[in-house]
Structures are given as structure tokens and as C-alpha cells.
Structure 1
Amino acid sequence: MKAFKKLLTLSLASAILLVGCASGSTKTENKEAEKAENTASSQTIIVGATPNPHAEILKAISPQLEKEGIKLEVKEFTDYIIPNTALEEKQLDANFFQHQPYLDNFQKEHGTHLVTVAKVHVEPMAVYSKKIKNINEIADGSTIAIPNDPTNGGRALILLEKQGLITIKDGVDKLIATDKDIDKNTKNLKFKLLEAAQLPRVLDEVDVAVINTNYALEGGLNPITDAIAIEDKESPYANILVVREGQEQDAKIQALVKALNSDEAKKFIEDTYKGAVIPAF
């Protein structure tokens, strides 16, 4: 009987020991799985971008990041608001769609905390028409569609002023000028303000439209071959890579900056867009 009790005690002790080992093993496995998941997450960078040319450029440099062990996830947007709010709310790690004057104005209006980490390219804004072939053919009373956001609207007016169609009032910050800031309009031009993305779709309805290159490309327009007037290469509106304040030195961000400002990126931009998009580095 004593021998039986002793055997039972030993069996119970062994069972408890085995359960303890199994529990410890499970905890270790869970920790390893969690560590692997966190590592994978830390090596993924999510960037918001408009489709053309931004998303295309990002996808082109993705192999460079893969060599660094970083997976690039591109989320495409078709407007100029959500990419900044999504970045501010930590839904994105970076965005790539805008120029500095637009970002500055957006931050002033929305109180976001975003910073520029790289200049990538310039998309010359251009004037398009399906009714005339030369900017000098614009008739009295013509309707011109321009972007309705302050910075791109101002940019469009600056371009029209350089073409001699209007003048902007003295003392006005031209970067954010509106149609109400026009001083001289000798041809009595009428202005139709629309979201930038809509402009290629209204060319049949207006005489002329001033369109950002990314939306022009999406609409099948090429500023080099289709425009009747275009910004010169000295345009200050370089498109930029933007992150949240405090993330500038993050290793993933620095790897992305390096890739976007690489010789490979420059060659892709020059070969693909043939002057419609110009490297800014």
C-alpha cells in the first residue's frame, strides 16, 4: 500500500512538471510569434499617394526597399485632403502627393504636425483646351476652369498672369491668390473653380482648363504634347515626401528618402514621363 502511494505521488509530480513545461513552452512560442509579428510590422512602410505619377514612382523604387528588408505598401488616394489627415492620424507612415506651398497652407488651416523630408519631382502645371491650339487664341469672355484649393488655384493664376491674360493685385500673396484677387482681366475671362481631380473631365464644357500634371496624366493628357501653355522648369512647386513630426530620422523613412532620391528613381522618372515630370534632386 505504501509502495502504491509512493508511486501515485511520483506520477502526480511528473504530470505537474510536464504541464509546467508545456505551459512554459507555449508562453515562449507566443512571445516568439509576437516578436516576429512586430518585426514584420516594423519592416513595413505605408505610404499614401495619388496614382500618377506618385504611386507609380513608389512602386518603381519598391525593389530597393525590399533589399533593405522593408516592404512598401502604397495606398492610393484621389483627393488632396485625406492623405494628410490619414498621416496625422497615424494611418500612414508617410505621404507623397503635394508640394510645399500646399502643405504649408493645409497645416495653417488644419493644425496638423507634418514635415517634409525630401523633394522628389516637379510636375509643371499646364493649360489645356479642346477648342483652341494656342494660348493667344483665347477669346473675349472665355471660361477657364482652375483648381478650387488656394495654393493650386493661386498657382494657376500665376501661370495665366505669366501668359499675359490677367494681372494679380499688388500686395497679394500670389501663392494663395484667388479669382477675387485679379486686378486686370482685359479679356473678361470667366473663372470656374473645381476640385483639381475634376478638371480633365470638364474640358468639353469649358474653353480652357489649368490642370495639375498628376491629374492630367490620369486623364490621358501629356503636358509636353497636349498643353497650350506650361510652367517653366524653374517652378518652385517640387512634390515632396511628408511624414509626422518626430519621424524624420526613422530608419524606414530614411531608407525611403534614399530610394526616392536615387539614380534609379531619377532614371525611371526621366524615361517614363519624358519631361512631363522632372526630377527635383
Structure 2
Amino acid sequence: MRIKRTLATVAAAALATTGLVACSNESEDNATTTAAEGENTTIKIGTTEADQEAWTVFKDLAADNGIELDIVQFSDYSPVNEALAQGELDVNKFQHIKYLAEYNQSAGKDLRVVGSTEIVPLALFWKDHDSLDGIEGESVAIPNDPSNQGRAINVLVQAGLLTLSDNVADELAPTPSDIDKDASKVTVTPVDASQTPNAYNEGRPAIINNTWLDRAGIEPGLAVFEDDPNSEEAEPYINVFAARSEDIDDETLNKLVELWQTPEVEEAVAKDSKGTSVPVYRDKSELNDILDRLQDK
């Protein structure tokens, strides 16, 4: 893997003057040397969230453990996985499992999960309302992107507002055509995710994810309903660290997962998400099983 290591000794400093080459395709025996053995490790990690407080806490904690984080901030989701696949990053943390599965399928790649971080419930908002009372007959704005549309429909199913037809191809990712309109209490209007806050501000009920809640200044506590983060339907939306398949057992990358799951980072994540994030501690093999199931579908 392409991870830089800097020896914390005078001899190492002397070697550095002649140029140290980053490791590539190392054997597992030589993969990662920890700070306890006298070395610091530099990890190049990609994200779209580097401006959040959790990343500052995470970077400082990693440094305390001999890991220097070279954080690469992306303004858009689409290039982050490709940068990882091409070896420009060692790991990334910006996506849920479903998004990773969709990338692998469309790009023909085999990026894998290193570990879990948290899940953020997806919620229904309705301006000037604090319950679902009176929502029957309304048209609910939902995100139209593949990663969120199915989940948004399932939020409304869990709320008892939508009923799916009997022949749904994928119950974890239903589409508007899978809705039994006659048996449902509301209809849906798919829109670009960025437009869901506009629907809310116009007085229409809307499913809004946390990214756009924050940008629109809408308090998460105003939700009238949200999905259950512990349900099977929510599993695809567990946020993860991802790496190339040959690197998922790397000690340093797995150490980063441990550090993200410490109370210090989780407290900062909760602050960034305004209390909506739910930490997830799932075995790596379970997470990759979920990834495989999503890709098979």
C-alpha cells in the first residue's frame, strides 16, 4: 500500500536526505510498523467533511498515536472513491455502504470496508408541524438520487404512510414505481436532494438528509419522524472507512477505525451532527457481507 513512514530516529533523518520511497504492494509482514516500534506513519485520507470538528479531534488523536493524517478534502462525492482506487489515497471516510456498493458496481472496482463509524437516521420534516397528524393526502418531497431515494421511501413505509406493492424487486431500495398508491396515505415527489429544504420551507413535507439540513439551517430536532438506525433496512446506510481490498487488514488503517470509535471523537461527531449520529460497532466481516449482498442485488 502507498503509505509513507517516517523513522523517529537520527538514522532515519539521515536516510530521508537521500529520499525515502513510499511502500507499494508490501507483504502483510512488512505492511505497517507502529509508532511503538519507533516509526511514525503518514496516512493519506480522503473525505468531504474535513471542516467538521470531529476531524480536528481525530487528527490530533491520531498524531498522539504516531499516525500523521494527510487529509484530502473533496468538494464532491464522485471523485473520492476513484482517487482511492487509483492509489492517490490510502483510505477514505465519507460514505455509507450502499454508496460504496454502487461505486464498485458501476466502476468495476473492489474497494472494501475497513470498519464502521456511525449511522445518521434519515428523517421527515414538515414546517410548523410536530407530528404526522394531518399529513394524509400530502405529497412528500424525497431525494431522487439512488443512494437516498429507496431509503426515503422506506422511512415513509416505517411511518405507516406508504405501502409497497407485493412484487418489489429490492425491499431495501424501492423506487416510486414500487409504491401501491391506492393503499398509501401520501404520494412522493422525487427532487434533487439539494431542493428538499426548499420544499420544506414552502410548507411541504420533505425527507431531508443531514448534509442539506445543516446547509439550510434546519434543526434536526424538528423532525416529525425518522427511521430506526438499528433496523435491517438501515444497514446499507452505515458509514464506513473504505480501502483497497489488499489493505483492509493493515494495522494502521484498523487503528484509525479504533481511534474514530473513541469517546473523544464520538463526542465531536455528535456535536457536528447536532446529536443525531448513532455510533456503530460492527465486525469488519459483517460489514463486508452487507457490501457483498448489496452488490449482488
Give the TM-score taking structure 2 as reference length: 0.72
Partner of 2:165: 169
1:74 and 1:202, CA in 2 relative to 1: closer, same or farther beyond 3 A?
A: farther
RMSD over equivalenced CA pairs, Å: 2.9
Please identify which structure carries the higher helix content. Answer: 1
The 1-side partners of 2:75 and 2:219 are apart by: 19
The 1-side partners of 2:82 and 2:128 are apart by: 38
The 1-side partners of 2:123 and 2:176 are apart by: 18
The 2-side partners of 1:77 and 1:174 are apart by: 32
Specify the code of the residue in structure 1 equivalent to 2:250.
D
Q: Residue 212 of structure 1 is aligned with which of 209, 214, 218?
A: 209
Deviations 1:159-189 (Å, cap 9, x if unpaired)?
1011122112224212221111112354452
Q: Residue 50 of structure 1 is aligned with which of 44, 48, 51?
A: 48
Q: Secondary structure at the match of 2:71?
A: strand
Specify the code of the residue in structure 2 equivalent to 1:105.
E
Residues 8-23 of structure 1 correspond to what in structure 2 (within 5 A)? none
- What is the CA-CA distance between 1:127 and the residue it aligns to? 0.8
Residues 7-156 of structure 1 correspond to what in structure 2 (within 5 A)? 32-35=16-19, 43-51=41-49, 55-130=52-127, 132-140=129-137, 142-156=138-152
Specify the code of the residue in structure 1 equivalent to 2:275.
G
Specify the code of the residue in structure 2 equivalent to 1:265.
V
The 2-side partners of 1:35 and 1:181 are apart by: 59
- What is the CA-CA distance between 1:71 and the residue it aligns to? 2.0
The 2-side partners of 1:75 and 1:148 are apart by: 28
Specify the code of the residue in structure 2 equivalent to 1:148.
N
More displaced stretch, 173-182 vs 214-223: 214-223
The 2-side partners of 1:46 and 1:134 are apart by: 45
1:147 and 1:274, CA in 2 relative to 1: closer, same or farther beyond 3 A?
A: closer
- What is the CA-CA distance between 1:276 and the residue it aligns to? 0.8
Deviations 1:114-167 (Å, cap 9, x if unpaired)?
101111111010011225442232252x33222222231110000101112211
1:209 and 1:74, CA in 2 relative to 1: closer, same or farther beyond 3 A?
A: farther
1:197 and 1:44, CA in 2 relative to 1: closer, same or farther beyond 3 A?
A: farther
- What is the CA-CA distance between 1:222 and the residue it aligns to? 3.2
Q: Secondary structure at the match of 2:180?
A: strand
More displaced stretch, 63-72 vs 183-192: 183-192
1:272 and 1:168, CA in 2 relative to 1: closer, same or farther beyond 3 A?
A: same
Structure 2: runs of 5+ lacking an equivalent: 1-12, 24-39, 282-297
Partner of 2:181: 184
- What is the CA-CA distance between 1:77 and the residue it aligns to? 3.5
For this pair of structures, how many residues does the alignment match? 247
